[in-house]
Structure 1
Amino acid sequence: MTFFSDPVLESMATRRSVSKVGPEAPTDEELLELLAAVTPVADHKALRPWRLITLRGDDRARLGEALDAAAGTVREPGDSNTKPLRAELLIAMVASPTDHPKVPEWEQLATAAGAGHLLELALWQAGWGVMWRTGVLANSAEVRAAHGLSEQEHLMGWLYVGSISDSFRRRMLESNRPALDPHQFLGSMPGPAGDGQH
């Protein structure tokens, strides 16, 4: 189903989270190219309060160990936490706020989240499947230490990135899932108190 004649708007409108991605993943060089579309994210005072950490190979197993340690999970010998292995590439989204008299921390966290979503869109437009995963243990001491976060940083979750199967693409093309009604998200400022308007 086509929503827009502009391919960028069409890609944004048809973006879907892909919970099960394939084994291929973008290289760091490809990620750097896509980041050119992310760095213009709205950023009050240009503080650049975000950064990315890529997890590939054994890094994903180390994340599983950190998650288990944070949860107090003890596994049998040879058993491991397979959740971080659901994609060959995980990208940790890190908010790195700094003290600034005119930019409160919440604004800087919003910038980091905005960068994460722009990266999701850029990856989707480039043909990759993405699932942004979080969890209550994301900012546990063990997981933070595994990522080398400083005291003021926040882990916003991980983008699980990989290829999209042909069957998923077919389901996308055949989907008749309606778009959300945009009217529910758009309103206007209420009138002055006491004018009888609601």
Structure 2
Amino acid sequence: MTTTDSASSRPVYDAMARRASRSKVTDEAPSHEELGELVSVMSSVPDHSRLRPWRIIELRGKDRETLGKALAKANKTPKEKGISKATRAPLVLAVVVSPKQSKKVPYWEQETVAAGVAHFLSLLLAEAGWGTMWRTGHATRSKAVRKAMKLDKDEQLLGWIYVGGVPEHKRKHKPRKPLDLDQHLTSL
């Protein structure tokens, strides 16, 4: 396929061109089964030695409040503020690097695989009609958040994908500023 082919014959290109972060979402969210279907194709993420060094923690309902309390503790803010942050969407997906022992695949490469999973999953969720926002912050790798997310000692949290419905009036998004290809696509 060439770059002159129409966007309609390039569904991945078209999906990436349409994807936008959604900071405000409705109370709708994909079901566990719908989410499972999307996560099941993450085996296509480039992954040296097929280690699958990642996992996703699904947070709904009161589980989001657990996260919120941990965020408040880590950020030294009132509990209500943390809970408010963690409940901005009906579904919060914690993206976890779950490294595997390997003599040939370093940790940084395994972390990159987990980041790829987060990006692919965000794209799939957007294509399924859901609004997403990847959130991080200083508390992401704090002791309080690690404990609340029940991470194993070798695991690290990359952040959270907030997921919900897209409000009708927010279905269109502003065009992005084009990339300066002279800066982002260079030759040696």
TM-score when scaled to structure 1? 0.85
Q: Secondary structure at the match of 1:158?
A: strand
Structure 1 Cα separation of the partners of residues 81 and 113 of structure 2: 35
1:45/1:165 Cα in 2 relative to 1: closer, same or farther (>3 Å)? Answer: same
1:188 aligns with 2:184: no
Equivalent-residue separation in structure 2 for 1:71 and 1:178 (angstroms): 33
What's the offset of the Cα at 1:88?
A: 0.4
Q: Which residue does 2:108 correspond to in 1?
A: 106
Is 1:37–1:118's contact at 8 Å kept on the other side of the alignment?
A: no
% identical equivalent positions: 48
The answer to whether residue 54 in structure 2 is matched with residue 55 in structure 1 is no
Name 2:3's counterpart in structure 1. Answer: none
Give 1:15's match in structure 2, choosing from 12, 19, 26. Answer: 19
Rounded to whole Å, the distance in 2 between the matches of 1:71 and 1:176 is 34
Matches within 5 A, 1:8-87: 8-74=12-78, 79=80, 81=82, 82-87=84-89
Of 101, 108, 116, the match for 2:118: 116
Structure 2 SS opposite 1:36: helix
Match of 1:126 in 2: 128
Q: 2:145 is matched by which residue type in structure 1?
A: V
Alignment deviations for residues 112-164 of structure 1 (CA, whole Å, 9 cap, x no partner): 00010000000011110000000111111111011110111110000000011
Please report how far the alpha carbon of residue 14 of structure 1 lies from its aligned counterpart in structure 2 after TM superposition.
1.6
Which sections of structure 1, spanning at least 5 residues, go unmatched? 190-198
**Higher helix share goes to which structure?**
2
Question: What does residue range 120-159 of structure 1 map to in structure 2 within 5 Å?
Answer: 120-159=122-161
Aligned partner of 1:97 in structure 2 is: 99
Letter in 2 for 1:23: D
- Specify the code of the residue in structure 1 equivalent to 2:133: M
The Cα of 1:68 is off from its aligned counterpart by 1.5
Q: 1:85 to 1:181 in 2, by over 3 A?
A: same
Unaligned runs of 5+ in 2: 1-5
Provide the secondary structure at the position in 2 that maps to 1:137. helix
1:22 and 1:183 map into 2 onto residues whose CA distance is 39
Q: CA deviation at 1:59?
A: 0.6
2:103 is paired with a residue of what secondary structure? coil
Call closer, same or farther: CA 1:182–1:31 in 2, change over 3 Å: farther
1:101 deviation in Å?
Answer: 1.1
Which stretch shifts more, 136-145 or 63-72? 63-72
Q: How many pairs were matched up?
A: 181
Give per-residue Cα distances to partners, 1:82-135, cap 9 Å, x unaligned: 100100000000001123111110000000000100000000111100000001
Contact 1:54 1:89 in 2 (8 A): yes
- Judged with a 3 Å threshold, the aligned counterparts in structure 2 of structure 1 residues 177 and 111 are, in CA distance, closer, same or farther, namely closer
Summarize the Cα distance change of 1:65–1:104 in structure 2 as closer, same or farther, 3 Å threshold: same
Aligned residues of 1:37 and 1:122 also touching (Cα < 8 A) = no
Q: 1:177 to 1:137 in 2, by over 3 A?
A: closer
CA apart distance, 1:52:
0.3
